[in-house]
């Protein structure tokens, strides 16, 4: 066995000596989502940005348009606030969960 | 024309068609490290046993200038042969003929051999090497795939269906293998994905190679789409032949029994499992110590390695093993290992293969990722599969069997027929540390030295409950046995189970937590 793949696993307060697997290595640590950072819910290309830094927005306002699978998807704000930063521009290709806009 | 002339003409025609896409295309196939469709079939079946059907079938495309094109065999070879003297049906896509693309008649050839396999109750083996749908044939190509998928599903549980991925298998084409029982992949040759790297790059801007996206290793280690990994095509075909020497060739086939052979591996079974439940070991050594010839055909060796599944013979009879593997992730149940075990259990049940379960697990894998990935519904598959299975179910509890993990792993309560435990077994609601901390919370908190008190209480709990005797006192375990008695006990239980009653119900089918 490869000693680099050694793993201590705790189940019900008992620590077991064991080894890791490729899927287990890929696992990502979970963190509390920050609702001031707006992430892309789908991958695609930014077509249009409908707000600018400093704008005051409320829930339901249109934020931007993402083209994905040949469809233009208008994305709305789920929560209001003041726009601190716009991190993308038209033409950018974004992946799922990429940061798009930061609220103050 | 004389008969000799006619024979000569036939032979000439055969020769022409068998050249597939022509010498140039064959050369290209070889350059990419691949064998041709007919060479592959020769490696698969017994020498000289292959009969090819539909050699002279022609494609039916009329649009886009296709009408005048001749595509030899329409890009697929079908026929029958034998493996170790037993008949099988096979199709092999011929990449040298327009990239093995699937048109309507190509699909109808595959469908013909699928129908024959189901009618004759023999295994169906599909060798996939195709660029995908033949776009010129439009919706007819889609119809072809649909007809294949339908037959895959209808044949499921009646005959074994094997898919061998020896080239690209992309888009809709991946779903035929996904519906079959065993998928074989070869390093650097097999490529399977729904959308290829080009589309991913355009849509997502992510650059990835075909190999990293859907190569043989990815499907063997990460996705769980493949069941057998080989380094080259030759090894792949010998894996297929070996698997088919263990499993029944249809759901009524009783011809799997072979001469009894003793285990040959030099393993002292009484000392394989460390007494300390936190120490790892390779559960495959237990399997090899009890199987005939120490032979074990492991299925999905590199995927969800915390669960080991596969076939071996005990006293000449084929059994399916389901075993927790303490060597990886302490042998926990998680999303992937549950999925892996559940499907295997259902396969064994469909084909009347007795299931031998070897238990040693601390429970379910804790973590946000597991909860969010649906470990509840995936874990439920194991409970469902064991509860539903009516084949003989033999359980050996090797060491720890805690909590929900104990229940799930073919416990008496899910109607295991025989439950054995080794003296090292610990059948308890949870590990001693956790249990003592809950039960003696007050005593520990109020003690002058809480740590000392905790240690003492854990020891007390271990002494009383970390053993097989509590479960045995309630009849949940039938026999506590010395490890080296295991093989003989299983042989006798298998003999007794041969006449196990089959309970008929009037339900159409259950609704498992797929």
How far apart are alpha carbons B239 and A32 in whole angstroms? 47
How far apart are alpha carbons B33 and B216 in whole angstroms? 15
Task: Note the pLDDT tens digit of each residue in B156-167.
Answer: 999 999 999 999
Give the residue numbers in B contacting A (CB under 8 Å), as ranges. Answer: 203-206, 221-222, 277-280, 302-306, 326-332, 336, 362-369, 372, 402-403, 430-435, 437
Q: What residues have CB less than 8 Å from B127, skipping those under 6 apart?
A: B37, B40, B41, B44, B90, B91, B92, B93, B164, B166
The residue segments making up the domain with residue A50 are: 37-103
Q: Would you say how long chain A is, in residues?
A: 104
Domains defined for chain B, CATH in brackets: 3-246 (3.90.226.10), 269-429+466-497 (3.90.226.10), 432-465 (no CATH)
Phi, psi of A57 (to 5 degrees): -125, 155
Q: Taking CB atoms and an 8 Å cutoff, what residues of chain A touch B306?
A: 21
Q: How far is A62 from chain B (nearest CA, A)?
A: 22
Percent of residues, chain A, with pLDDT higher than 70 = 100
Q: How far is B173 from chain A (nearest CA, A)?
A: 20
**How many domains is chain A built from?**
1
Q: Is the dihedral of CA B450, B453, B455, B457 positive or negative?
A: negative
Nearest to B249, CA basis, from B88, B141, B408, B405: B88
Q: Is the pTM of this model over 0.80?
A: yes
In sequence order, the β-bridge partners of residue A57 are: A81
Q: What residues have CB less than 8 Å from B231, skipping those under 6 apart?
A: B186, B187
Please state whether beta strands B191-193 and B168-170 pair in parallel, antiparallel, or not at all (unpaired).
Answer: parallel
Q: Rg of the Cα trace of chain A?
A: 20
C-beta neighbour count of B342 within 10 angstroms = 25
In this model, does residue B64 exceed pLDDT 90?
Answer: no
Contact B431 A23 (CB under 8 A): no
How far apart are alpha carbons A41 and B187 in whole angstroms? 35
CB-facing half-sphere around the CA of A18: CA atoms within 13 A: 28
Q: Taking CB atoms and an 8 Å cutoff, what residues of chain B touch A12?
A: 362-363, 402-403, 430-431, 433-435
Mean pLDDT of B46-60: 94
Q: What residues have CB less than 8 Å from A38, skipping those under 6 apart?
A: A63, A77, A99, A100, A101, A102, A103
The minimal CB distance from A14 to the residues B326, B372, B434 is found for: B434
C-beta neighbour count of B63 within 10 angstroms = 10
Q: Which segments of B330-485 does DSSP mark as H helices, in order? A: 335-350, 368-372, 375-388, 403-408, 432-439, 441-446, 450-465, 469-473
Task: Evaluate whether residue A30 is within a structural domain.
Answer: no
Specify the CATH number for the domain of residue A93: 2.40.50.100
Task: Evaluate whether residue A42 is within a structural domain.
Answer: yes
Q: Which helix (H) or strand (E) holds B402?
A: strand B393-402
Q: Give the alpha-carbon dihedral of B452, B454, B455, B459, to 10 degrees.
A: 140
In this model, does residue B415 exceed pLDDT 90?
Answer: yes
Max mean pLDDT among A76-90, B16-30, B220-234, B453-467 falls in: B220-234
C-alpha A49 chain-centroid distance: 18
In this model, does residue B65 exceed pLDDT 90?
Answer: no
Task: Note the pLDDT tens digit of each residue in B305-364.
Answer: 999 999 999 999 999 999 999 999 999 999 999 999 999 999 999 999 999 999 999 999
- The pLDDT, as a whole number, for residue B201 is 83
Task: Evaluate whether residue A31 is within a structural domain.
Answer: no
Task: Evaluate whether residue A80 is within a structural domain.
Answer: yes
In this model, does residue B205 exceed pLDDT 90?
Answer: no
Average model confidence (pLDDT) across chain B: 95
Task: Evaluate whether residue A82 is within a structural domain.
Answer: yes
- The pLDDT, as a whole number, for residue B1 is 82
Q: Taking CB atoms and an 8 Å cutoff, what residues of chain B touch A93?
A: 203-205
Nearest to B512, CA basis, from B348, B385, B336: B385
**Which pLDDT band holds residue A33 (cuts at 50, 70, 90)?**
confident
How far apart are alpha carbons B411 and B415 in whole angstroms? 7
For residue B290, CA distances in Å to B261, B273, B392 come to 10, 14, 17
The residue with tokens 């046993």 is B49
The minimal CB distance from B221 to the residues A7, A22, A27 is found for: A22
Tell me which residues of chain A, numbers 11 to 70, contact chain B at a CB-CB cutoff of 8 Å: 11-24, 26-28, 30, 43-44, 68-69
Q: How far is A97 from chain B (nearest CA, A)?
A: 12
How far apart are alpha carbons A13 and B471 in whole angstroms? 23
Contact A14 B362 (CB under 8 A): yes
C-beta neighbour count of B34 within 10 angstroms = 20
Secondary structure letter of residue B222 according to DSSP:
I
Query: Is the CB of residue B286 less than 8 Å from the CB of residue B324?
Result: no
Percent of residues, chain A, with pLDDT higher than 90 = 56
How far apart are alpha carbons A54 and B384 in whole angstroms? 56
Q: Give the alpha-carbon dihedral of B45, B51, B53, B55, to 10 degrees.
A: 90
How far apart are alpha carbons B66 and B21 in whole angstroms? 16
Task: Evaluate whether residue A17 is within a structural domain.
Answer: no
Q: Which helix (H) or strand (E) holds B51?
A: strand B51-53
Contact A12 B403 (CB under 8 A): yes
In this model, does residue A69 exceed pLDDT 80?
Answer: no
In this model, does residue B366 exceed pLDDT 90?
Answer: no
Task: Evaluate whether residue A65 is within a structural domain.
Answer: yes
For residue B163, CA distances in Å to B160, B212, B227, B237, B243 come to 10, 21, 10, 11, 13
Task: Evaluate whether residue A24 is within a structural domain.
Answer: no
Tell me whether 0.90 is exceeded by the ipTM: no
Q: Which residue of A has its CA nearest to B370?
A: A27
Mean pLDDT of A35-48: 90
How far apart are alpha carbons B300 and B325 in whole angstroms? 13
More confident residue, B433 or B120: B120
In this model, does residue B123 exceed pLDDT 80?
Answer: yes
Q: What residues have CB less than 8 Å from B311, skipping those under 6 apart?
A: B243, B246, B247, B296, B297, B299, B318, B319, B320, B321, B353
Percent of residues, chain B, with pLDDT higher than 70 = 100
């Amino acid at each position: 066995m490869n000693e680099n793949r050694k793993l201590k696993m705790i189940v019900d307060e008992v620590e077991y000596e064991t080894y890791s697997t490729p899927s287990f290595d890929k696992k990502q640590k979970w963190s509390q989502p920050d609702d001031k950072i707006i992430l892309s819910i789908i991958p695609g290309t930014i077509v249009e940005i409908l707000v600018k830094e400093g704008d005051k927005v409320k829930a339901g306002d249109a934020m931007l348009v993402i083209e994905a699978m040949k469809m233009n998807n208008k994305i709305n704000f789920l929560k209001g606030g003041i726009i601190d930063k716009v991190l993308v521009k038209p033409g950018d290709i974004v992946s799922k969960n990429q940061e798009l806009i930061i609220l103050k | 024309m004389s008969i000799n002339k006619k024979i000569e003409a036939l032979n000439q025609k055969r020769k022409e068609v068998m050249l597939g896409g022509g010498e140039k295309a064959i050369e290209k196939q070889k350059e990419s490290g691949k064998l041709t469709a007919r060479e592959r079939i020769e490696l698969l079946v017994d020498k000289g046993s292959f009969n090819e059907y539909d050699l002279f079938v022609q494609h039916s495309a009329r649009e886009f200038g296709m009408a005048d094109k001749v595509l030899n065999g329409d890009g697929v070879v079908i026929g029958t042969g034998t493996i170790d003297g037993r008949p099988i049906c096979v199709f092999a896509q011929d990449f040298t003929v327009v990239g093995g693309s699937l048109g309507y008649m190509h699909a109808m050839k595959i469908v013909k051999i699928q129908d024959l396999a189901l009618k004759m109750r023999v295994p169906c083996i599909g060798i996939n090497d195709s660029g995908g749908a033949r776009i010129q044939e439009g919706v007819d190509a889609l119809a072809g795939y649909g007809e294949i998928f339908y037959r895959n599903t209808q044949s499921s549980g009646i005959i074994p269906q094997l898919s061998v991925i020896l080239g690209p298998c992309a888009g809709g084409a991946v779903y035929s293998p996904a519906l079959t029982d065993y998928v074989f992949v070869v390093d650097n040759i097999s490529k399977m994905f729904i959308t290829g790297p080009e589309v991913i790059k355009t849509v997502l801007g992510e650059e990835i190679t075909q190999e990293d996206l859907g190569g043989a290793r990815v499907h063997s280690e990460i996705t769980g789409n493949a069941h057998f990994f080989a380094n080259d095509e030759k090894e792949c075909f010998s894996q297929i032949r070996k698997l088919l020497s263990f499993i029944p060739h249809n759901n009524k086939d009783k011809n799997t029994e072979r001469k009894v052979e003793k285990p040959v591996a030099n393993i002292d079974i009484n000392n394989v499992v460390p007494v300390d439940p936190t120490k790892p070991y390779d559960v495959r050594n237990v399997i090899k110590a009890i199987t005939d010839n120490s032979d074990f055909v492991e299925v999905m060796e590199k995927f969800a390695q915390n669960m080991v599944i596969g076939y071996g013979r005990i006293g000449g009879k084929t059994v399916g093993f389901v075993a927790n593997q303490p060597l990886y992730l302490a042998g926990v149940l998680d999303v992937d290992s549950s999925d892996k075990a559940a499907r295997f259990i259902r396969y064994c049940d469909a084909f009347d293969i007795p299931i031998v379960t070897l238990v040693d697990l601390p429970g379910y894998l804790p973590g946000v990722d597991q909860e969010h990935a649906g470990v509840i519904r995936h874990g439920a598959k194991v409970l469902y599969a064991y509860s539903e299975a009516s084949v003989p179910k033999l359980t050996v509890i090797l060491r720890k069997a805690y909590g929900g993990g104990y229940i799930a792993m073919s416990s008496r309560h899910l109607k295991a027929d025989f439950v054995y435990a080794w003296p090292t077994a610990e059948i308890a609601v949870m590990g001693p540390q956790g249990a003592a901390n809950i039960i003696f919370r007050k005593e520990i908190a109020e003690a002058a030295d809480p740590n000392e008190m905790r240690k003492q209480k854990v020891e007390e709990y271990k002494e009383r409950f970390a053993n097989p005797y509590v479960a045995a006192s309630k009849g949940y375990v039938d026999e506590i046995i010395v490890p080296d008695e295991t093989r003989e006990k299983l042989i006798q239980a298998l003999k007794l189970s041969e006449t196990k009653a089959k309970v008929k119900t009037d339900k159409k089918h259950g609704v498992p937590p797929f």
